Structure formats: C-alpha cells, structure tokens
C-alpha cells in the first residue's frame, strides 16, 4: 500500500462507527451563513459533507465565507474536513450565477462544436468553485438525450449521439479535475431516454442490454477510463439490469455488479438526492439510505430535511449494529472517501491548489490562456471572454425559409416567454431581461412584451392585438419549452400570430425540440438557454452582428 494509503488506513482505524457512518452522508441545508441549524448539526454529527443550492448563495465572497465557516465548525468539532458540493452544470442548472463567469450549458457547448470548449468551460468553472471553497461538482451530465419528451435532462446533455457525449464528457471531467474539483459523471447508467422526471416519480427504461451497451453506457465507460472521481446513480429502474423493481440507486446488481465488478470502477459512488419522489414515495428516504449502502453507494445525498438526515444516520448505525450491514462494508466506502479527500488535500485541512495530487495537469496550454488565480481582475475578464465566445458560437439557425434574417431595422414586436421552473432540479431564475430589451439595446425599434409560461394563454389576446394594431413589420417570439405539455398555449399563440401574415421568427430559449411542436414555423433559431449571455448572443446573431455558427446536437428537423 502507498504511503498515502497507509496514512488513510490509520485514520480509518482510529474512527468510531459513528464517525465512519457520518462520512457517508452529504446533506443540504437552508441559510447563507455557517450558523444556526447547520452549525449545530455539524457539531453534533460527523457528516461527510454538504451541498449548496441557490438558497445558500448570495455572492462568491459570501459562498467563500460560508465554506470556510463550515470547515471551521468541522475542524473545531474534531471532525474530518467536509466535501462541499454543488450542482454547477452551467447554463440553466447553475446555483451560482452572479460574480462569476457563468458558462453556457452542455448542449450549447456541443452546439458550438469544440471539445476544447468543454474542457475550458469546466476548468474555469472548477477554479472559480475552488476559490469559493467548493471541492465537488455534480457535473458533467453524461446522459445521452435521445428523447424529445425528456422533462428533466434536455439541454443539460451534450446531445443525442453517445460517442459525442462521451468525447465532450471526458474533456469536461478533465477540466474539473485539473482545476482540483471532484467531477461527477451523472446519472448512471443514463437518464436521457425518459419521459418521467425522477424528482416526481420512478422512471422505467425498458431497453435491452445490447442497446444500453451501444448507447447509454458509452459515455460512462469513457469517463471511468478517464479516471472520473465520482459517479452519481440515477433513480431509474432498468429491468434489463435488475430483476427486482429497484431503481439503480438501490440495486446491488447495478452499483456493485455492473459498475464496480464489470466496469472496474474504483472511484466514489454518490446517490442522487434521496428525497426525490422516485425514492421517497416508493421506498422512504431513511430506509432507502440503508438500501443504497447495501447496494454499494459510498455517499448518500439528502438535500433538504434535517429530520431525515439524522434519521438516515441513525438507521445506518443501527443497520451495522444489528448485522444487516457489515462494518467491513462501511470500511470499504469510508476508505475510498478518505482516499479521495486525501487526493484533494482535505485531510491536510488546506483548501488550496498546492494540495492537488501530482498527476493533476494544470497546463495553461490546455486552457489556451494563462492559468491565473481565480480572484484576479484580469483572470475574470479572460473567463468571461471564454464564456462569451462559446455562447456566440452556439447560436443555431435551424431554418430561414423566407430570408428574414438578419432582421431589418424596422418596428418589431418581440414576445418573450419567461423562463420557468420545469423540474425540481431547476431553480427560479432571478433574471427578468427580455429578448426585446436586448434587441432594443442594439438599436432595433421594439414593442417588448413578456409573459410567464403559466400566463401565456391569459396574455395571448393582448399580444395578438399588439401584433395587429401596432404597425409592426416583423415578429419575434422567444419560446420556453413550447413542446412540453405545459407549452400548448405558446404553440397556439404562435399559430395565431402566423395568421396575421407578418414575417415571424421563433427563438427557442431552452429546448431546441420546440420546433417539433411548431412544424410550420418558417424561421427558427435555437439558443439552448435564456441566461443573459445567451440572450445577448442570440440578439446579435438575429441582427447580423455575429454569424450563426451553431449546429444542433439533437435531431429537430
């Protein structure tokens, strides 16, 4: 055993059962300060780590202070330093959006067409997360999104082609881990071909093993071969992989038999949140936490409820004491978790770049820019420039059958359907900028109208009246998941606007699949997201200030 292994083994042998079980729990909490309930919980329970959501975030400076505060509480309580984790995928699923170089999401990166972009985006995100004391990111998404009706993955994926998803995913893994942050390949063995959100129910995927080997499993095998630190399990039932009606998170056949034994994966296995309905409703969060450890999970994620977090901790201890789970099984996971904490410098209690393992390559050549400290002003400008370049290259002109683009500098009605929480993984965006407002800043004469997804039907009459009576020469509609069941009112509005006879373009501000619900639209642009950077990029492309360079990573024609 290596010197590092011997050191970790000695730490493991000095730990009580309670301390070891605590290492296997990752918890969420409410609040933006290291105080109150979370302070008391860390003091009392030797938990393995925490997860941040938007509810924990005000600014990068505040997040850094929060991370330092939580680590200080753990240290003062003589507990092992914490994993500090987050879902910072980029694009529409990002918990930190201000004061950083928020990167485009994965489908936008793939649309821009360069695997190096995946590396650069992940590397920049990683060093910015690291500067805030965050050492584990639940990204990249390696699901192959080949189902247009998928309600929860969509633009979070690199696309529908398994090999392309694998290639982009491996580069993203390298970017995060070269920045000193744990990369997490999710959602094993693949959440891309579902029409059910596992936050709301238990999806079932009936593909046979041959199909899964050919499609869903390809990116995960590549990430494992590339040395990804962590893999997150999906709350999905695959009959081809598990004879009992168990989601992957609770299946020993999948986590141990397939992932560990067949694929030879030696990194950390972390569950998706055990409070999601696919688990909580069918199995119960607390009992499922025990089942997940039995199945082979190393780190159990419980994101919201302190009572459930404490009960799961106590249930795992009881399971060992009663012989349901052997202490050797616990030791196996905790040894692995401590080895990775050692790799990332946490066992030295120093949260800085000097503690990365020797095999980490921080070559600035790979990034095509100087590898500067995250906090410098120059570095911030360089980071923003990378995000802008990727965003501008991602904007995709799918069709322009009437030669409407670039837009003429004429009076234009611009309708923006506002971003909305479409699944529990989303969090309501704070931005209220409309596409019309951005176009107006570039000199276009705009009538700027705005509606929430839920209120489009109520606003349609006034929007149609504006189109008929305001002497507009052209119409732009920014849709938001118009192809989903909740998007029918958007489709009806667009059909009615088409009847007016003015040139009309649709800009998909999230799902590029909106075109499938709007086959008669003659001008269609995919932006993949409605973050301010994407809104600026699509506005410039519509006006001809930059070329359309993107190519859709999914089939929509």
Return d(Cα 235, Cα 11) in angstroms, integer.
33
Lookup: tokens for 289: 């936490």
Pairing of the two strands 523-526 and 504-508: parallel
Return d(Cα 163, Cα 160) in angstroms, integer.
9
Do residues 20 and 12 touch, judged by C-beta distance below 8 A?
A: yes
Cβ-proximal residues to 314 (8 Å cutoff; 6+ apart), any chain: none
Do residues 128 and 159 touch, judged by C-beta distance below 8 A?
A: no
- Phi, psi angles (nearest 5°) of residue 516: -65, -25
Cβ-proximal residues to 252 (8 Å cutoff; 6+ apart), any chain: 294, 295, 296
Do residues 513 and 506 touch, judged by C-beta distance below 8 A?
A: no
Q: Please list, residue by residue across 8-31, b when 16 or more beta carbons sit within 10 angstroms of its beta carbon and e when fewer do.
A: beebbeebeeebbbbbbbbbbbee
Lookup: tokens for 269: 């296995």
Q: Classify residue 349 as left (phi > 0), alpha (psi -120 to 50) or beta.
A: left
Beta bridge partners of 505: 476
Neighbours of 331 (CB within 10 A): 16
Neighbours of 77 (CB within 10 A): 13
Q: Which residues form the catalytic set?
A: 199, 272
Longest CA span, the chain = 79
Listing from the earlier edge strand, what are the strands of the sheet with 504-508? 396-400, 523-526, 504-508, 474-479, 412-418, 446-452
- H helices of 139-274, in order, are 162-178, 209-214, 218-225, 252
Pairing of the two strands 88-90 and 93-94: antiparallel
Cβ-proximal residues to 68 (8 Å cutoff; 6+ apart), any chain: 34, 133, 351
Do residues 81 and 74 touch, judged by C-beta distance below 8 A?
A: yes
Pairing of the two strands 25-28 and 88-90: unpaired
Locus of tokens 């196996």:
332
């Amino acid at each position: 055993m290596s010197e590092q292994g011997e050191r970790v083994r000695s730490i493991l042998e000095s730990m009580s059962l309670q301390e070891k079980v605590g290492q296997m729990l990752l918890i969420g909490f409410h609040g933006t300060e290291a105080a109150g309930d979370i302070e008391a919980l860390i003091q009392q329970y030797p938990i393995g780590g925490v997860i941040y959501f938007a509810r924990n975030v005000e600014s990068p400076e505040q997040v850094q202070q929060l991370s330092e505060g939580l680590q200080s509480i753990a240290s003062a309580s003589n507990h092992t330093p914490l994993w500090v984790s987050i879902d910072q995928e980029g694009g529409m699923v990002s918990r930190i959006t201000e004061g950083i170089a928020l990167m485009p999401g994965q489908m936008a990166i793939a649309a821009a067409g360069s695997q190096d972009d995946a590396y650069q985006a992940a590397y920049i995100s990683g060093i910015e997360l690291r500067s805030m004391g965050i050492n584990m990111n639940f990204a990249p998404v390696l699901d192959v999104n080949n189902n247009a009706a998928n309600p929860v993955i969509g633009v979070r994926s690199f696309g529908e082609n398994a090999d392309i998803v694998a290639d982009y995913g491996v580069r993203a893994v390298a970017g995060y881990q070269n920045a000193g942050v744990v990369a997490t390949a999710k959602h094993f063995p693949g959440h891309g071909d579902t029409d059910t959100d596992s936050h709301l129910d238990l999806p079932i995927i009936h593909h046979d093993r041959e199909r899964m080997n050919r499609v869903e499993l390809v990116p995960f095998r590549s990430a494992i071969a590339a040395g990804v630190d962590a893999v997150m399990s999906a709350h999905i039932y695959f009959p081809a992989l598990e004879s009992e009606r168990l989601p992957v998170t609770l299946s020993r056949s999948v986590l141990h038999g397939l992932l560990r034994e067949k694929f030879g994966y030696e990194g950390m296995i972390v569950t998706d949140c055990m409070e999601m309905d696919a688990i909580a409703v069918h199995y119960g969060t607390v009992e499922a936490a025990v089942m997940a450890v039995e199945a082979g999970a190393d780190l159990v994620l419980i994101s919201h409820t302190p009572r459930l977090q404490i009960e799961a901790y106590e249930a795992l201890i009881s399971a060992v004491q009663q012989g349901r789970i052997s202490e050797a099984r616990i030791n196996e996971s905790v040894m692995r978790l401590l080895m990775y904490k050692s790799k990332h410098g946490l066992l030295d209690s120093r949260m800085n770049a000097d503690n990365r393992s020797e095999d980490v390559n921080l070559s600035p050549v790979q990034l095509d820019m100087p590898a500067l400290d995250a906090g410098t002003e120059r570095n911030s400008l360089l980071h923003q420039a990378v995000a802008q370049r990727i965003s501008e290259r991602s904007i995709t002109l799918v069709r322009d059958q009437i030669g409407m683009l670039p837009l003429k500098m004429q009076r234009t009605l611009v309708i923006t359907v506002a971003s909305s929480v479409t699944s529990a993984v989303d969090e309501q965006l704070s931005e209220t900028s409309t596409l019309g407002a951005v176009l107006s800043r570039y000199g276009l004469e705009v009538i700027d109208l705005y509606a929430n997804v839920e209120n489009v039907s109520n606003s349609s009459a006034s929007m149609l009246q504006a189109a008929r009576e305001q002497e507009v020469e052209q119409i732009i509609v920014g849709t938001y998941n118009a192809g989903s069941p909740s998007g029918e009112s958007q489709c009806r509005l667009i059909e009615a606007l088409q009847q007016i006879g003015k040139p009309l373009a649709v800009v998909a501000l999230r799902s590029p699949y909106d075109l499938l619900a709007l086959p008669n639209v003659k001008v269609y642009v995919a932006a993949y997201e409605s973050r301010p950077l994407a809104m600026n990029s699509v506005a410039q492309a519509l006006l001809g200030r930059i070329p359309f360079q993107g190519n859709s990573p999914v089939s929509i024609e």
